[in-house]
Chain A
Amino acid sequence: MKPEFDELVERHSGEIFAYVWRMLREAHDAEDCLQETFLRAFRSYERVRAGTNYRAWLYKIATNAARSHWKRRKRSETYTIDLDPELQAGGMSVADRVEKKALLAAVMRAVEELPDQQRAALIMRKYQELSYGEIAAALECTESAARANVYQAVKKLQAKFVLNEGGAR
């Protein structure tokens, strides 16, 4: 039996929002992208077979929607400061703040430079806690390709930040 579409909305809209939020890191884009995802899903739900992994199917649609948003948008680094509660709260020495901000900006740049598939896979695995099977379904690739995407993403980050004890290069 296929669940009612509204049930999928109840069950998954929160995590899909977190996912597109992480992919786009901008509130309006994330809201738009959430709507696009579920409207697209709603229109094609009829054609989805019962027993499909609906969660992975929604992530697939969300990934595609986020990708088109991503393409439309100029890359930007303007959000770094709001990112970290510690930075916002203050109470750190100036040197620490500067270092931390620089590291944040560098990490952000590094993940933005990752190929789309790798960034999406990294977010899905580490922050959305999808299984590799689900990531594979969402990215329309094999499970080993899904693993390789996460692996490559982590490896690239390791390579970027290994020299300087975690400091930004």
Chain B
Amino acid sequence: MTPNMVPEFELDDKVLKALDAVYAAPSEQVTKQAQAKLRRALMAAKGKIVYYGYAPRTRVGPLFVAVNDRGLVALDFGLSEQEFVARVTQRTKATLIRSDDQAAEALKQVQEYLEGKRTTFDLSLDMSRMSEFQRRVLGIALKIPRGKVLTYGDVAKAIGKPQASRAVGQALGRNPVPIVIPCHRVLGSDGSLHGYSGGGGIKTKAWLLQLEGATLPQ
């Protein structure tokens, strides 16, 4: 007899009954309980997974984005993949998984922006790991329209802390998603570019402002 002709499970009745008992299905209650635990475990895991992807050649160098269920978590450019992964891992304490699918939309929009084919972003942002202060500062930066600039002092005033220009500068410097949150639109009170924490430093800042057609104070 070949396996193809197996009269399946041809066993003595008593043996078959015993086998059925050995392999009896779990009760509905036990199953539901296990499923509930599974759902909780998955929820926990989801918050701890960040997907990333990159575009090797853009106007600002290799560009990386990281996203999770809530939206964009990080963006960086002009660095290596290992550096990006290390930075984001350290900041989020999440497991980073390369996923070109998950990263595709954010990468596409940023590239279009850098090529002058797009003027605004339609991306959700995960700002959950920021302090309340940084969230407010970056919230103001998000509202600066393309082509316009503010000073650190302006932003400090806008959040009701006129004395906090320096802290504002630091909060902007730690912007996890430059370009998308346009911290490059904030300048020193004397109109100087002051600094830029993104790859390429001040040069990139100047280039972005030029791309946006901002008129810089002389």
Which A residues are CB-close (under 8 A) to B33? 31
Known: A31-B34, A46-B97, A147-B6. A18 touches B26 (CB 8 A): yes
Question: Does chain B have a CB within 8 A of A125?
Answer: yes
Q: Please, what's the 1-or-0 string for B19-59, where 1 marks a CB less than 8 Å from any CB in chain A?
A: 10111111000110111011101100110010100000000
Binding site of A, secondary structure by majority: helix, strand, loop or mixed? helix
**Pair A150/B14 contact, Cβ less than 8 Å:** no
**Pair B35/A35 contact, Cβ less than 8 Å:** no
Known: A42-B42, A107-B19. A126 touches B8 (CB 8 A): yes
Question: Does chain B have a CB within 8 A of A84?
Answer: yes
**Pair A43/B11 contact, Cβ less than 8 Å:** no
Known: A103-B15, A154-B11. A43 touches B49 (CB 8 A): yes
**Pair A46/B51 contact, Cβ less than 8 Å:** yes
Question: Does chain B have a CB within 8 A of A34?
Answer: yes
A92 to chain B, nearest CB (A): 13
Within 8 A of B (CB), among A1-15: 9, 13-14
Which B residues are CB-close (under 8 A) to A27? 26, 30
**Pair B12/A9 contact, Cβ less than 8 Å:** no
Instruction: Tell me how many residues of B have a C-beta within 8 Å of chain A.
Output: 38
Contact of A158 among B10, B25, B99 (CB under 8 A): B10
**Pair B23/A42 contact, Cβ less than 8 Å:** no
- Chain A residues touching B, range: 35 or more
Question: Does chain A have a CB within 8 A of B128?
Answer: no
**Pair A157/B19 contact, Cβ less than 8 Å:** yes
Question: Does chain B have a CB within 8 A of A17?
Answer: yes
Q: When chains A and B are docked, how far (Å) is the Cα of A22 from the Cα of B13?
A: 20
Contact of B15 among A9, A30, A84, A107 (CB under 8 A): A107
- Listed by A's residue number, 23 A-B pairs whose Cβ atoms lie within 8 Å are A9-B39, A17-B31, A17-B35, A25-B22, A27-B30, A31-B33, A39-B42, A42-B42, A43-B45, A46-B51, A46-B101, A107-B15, A107-B22, A108-B22, A126-B9, A127-B25, A150-B6, A150-B8, A154-B8, A161-B11, A165-B12, A166-B13, A166-B15
Binding site for A on B (CB under 8 A): 3-4, 6, 8-15, 18-19, 21-26, 30-31, 33-35, 37-39, 41-42, 45-46, 49, 51, 95, 97, 99, 101-102
